[in-house]
Amino acid sequence: MKFGLVVPTYRSILDAGRTAPEMVAIAVEAERLGFDSVWVGDTLAKAPIDSLTLLGAFATRTERVTLGTAALLPALRDPLLSANAILSLDLLSQGRVTLGVGAGFAGRSEPEFAFTRVPWERRRARLDDIVALWRHVWSGKSGPFHGEVLHYDTLPEYPEPHRPGGPPVWLASFTPGALQRAGRLYDGWLPYPPDVADYADGLAKIREAAVRPVTPALFATVLIEEDPIRARERLEDYAQRNYGVPLDFVEKIQVQIAGSPAQVADRLREYQDAGAEHVLIRIATQEPAEFDEQLPRVADALPR
């Protein structure tokens, strides 16, 4: 099983004193600690550091790790300009890019779509079209493209990507429809279900529908804290500061793992046994000092 580190980039971490160059240094340190990948989030409402720009900085300072988005919201960008930006990142990193993408989270993402004047309706079909358009132009095709939502009679010509066909694209979603789409249209699956049985069931459905190899991944929020009462308090604080909602709500949607290094490792092994092959670790803190203290402890706890 591979492990990736999600580098916090949202406004709250900047307000707490983290700088953009320090984010780059975290990616370098993650590579030194043995992580297989580094990832950044993407939200217009809370991320003043652009995800693709930051990954470009990571590319110049790292040599081995995969560089990923967890998860990019492609609808917020012009599809052809984003195809060019991602292709540029692919060439700059010599093929180390993997894109986690999503269509937006109902109840939270609508303002971001409004900011960019993109219709919220048919957002999933729009996402699928954007990804298909990227693959179309990354494959050297400049002829017409007509999807369910996007239509182009002519397209610009792009240089050949480092990896034939361009970077792999993983779908970050767990709806029943997403399981079918992940198997048919995407190269990977990036959910965060709190129940291991649900993960295993979802992966089985994807494999039933798959027409291509699909990498099973997982997005997990992790905290090393041996005192169970203190662990609960710290997760509660993170949920409130990150989402503005109680932990009781968040943990029904997302996997949250807190405990001793052995407890964290055991919980991650459960998802490995359920089929997860690449786990993205988000450390549950908004404080730079706490993040820096947690990072080596989390790295040591990962089951290798």
Other C-beta atoms within 10 Å of 17: how many? 10
Q: In the block, which residue shows the tokens 């900047």?
A: 14
pTM of the predicted model as reported, rounded to 2 decimal places: 0.97
Q: What is the largest CA-CA distance in the chain?
A: 61
- Sequence-distant (6+) residues with CB within 8 A of 76 are 42, 44, 112, 113, 115, 116, 118
Q: Residue 43's Cα: distance from chain center in Å?
A: 11
Q: What is the mean pLDDT of residues 81-99?
A: 98
Q: Please tell me the predicted confidence (pLDDT) of residue 141.
A: 87
- Check: CB of residue 79 under 8 Å from CB of residue 85: no
Which pLDDT does position 45 carry in this prediction? 84
At 283 the three-state DSSP class reads strand
Q: What is the 3-state secondary structure (H, E, C) of 80-129?
A: HHHHHHHHHHHHHCCCCEEEEECCCCCCCCHHHHHHCCCCCCCHHHHHHH
In total, the chain counts a number of residues equal to 304
Question: Has residue 90 got a pLDDT over 80?
Answer: yes
Confidence at 30, pLDDT banded by 50, 70, 90: very high
So what's the pLDDT on residue 304? 84
Q: Which residues of 160-190 are buried (b: 16+ CB within 10 A; e: fewer)?
A: ebbbeebbbbbbbbbeeebbebbbebbbbbb
Question: What is the mean pLDDT of the segment spanning 140-164?
Answer: 94
**Which residues lie below 8 Å from residue 234, measured CB to CB, with a gap of 6+?**
223, 225, 258, 284, 285
Tens digit of pLDDT for each residue in 98-112?
Answer: 999 999 999 889 999
85-99 b/e with 16+ CB inside 10 Å = b?
Answer: bbbbbbbbbeebbbb
101 Cβ contact partners less than 8 Å away, ≥ 6 residues apart: 69, 71, 72, 73, 74, 127, 131, 169, 170, 171, 172
Is residue 157's pLDDT more than 80?
yes
Q: How many CB atoms lie within 10 A of CB 209?
A: 14
Give the H or E element holding residue 289. Answer: helix 288-301
pLDDT in tens, 270-294: 999 999 999 999 999 999 999 999 9
CA dist., res. 193 & res. 177, Å (int)? 15
Tokens of 268: 């991650």
Q: Which DSSP letter does residue 190 get?
A: -
pLDDT at 38 over 90: yes
Neighbours of 66 (CB within 10 A): 20
pLDDT at 120 over 90: yes
Average pLDDT over residues 100-125: 95
Calculate helix-pair angle for 176-185, 123-138, nearest 10 degrees: 10
Provide the mean pLDDT of the chain: 96
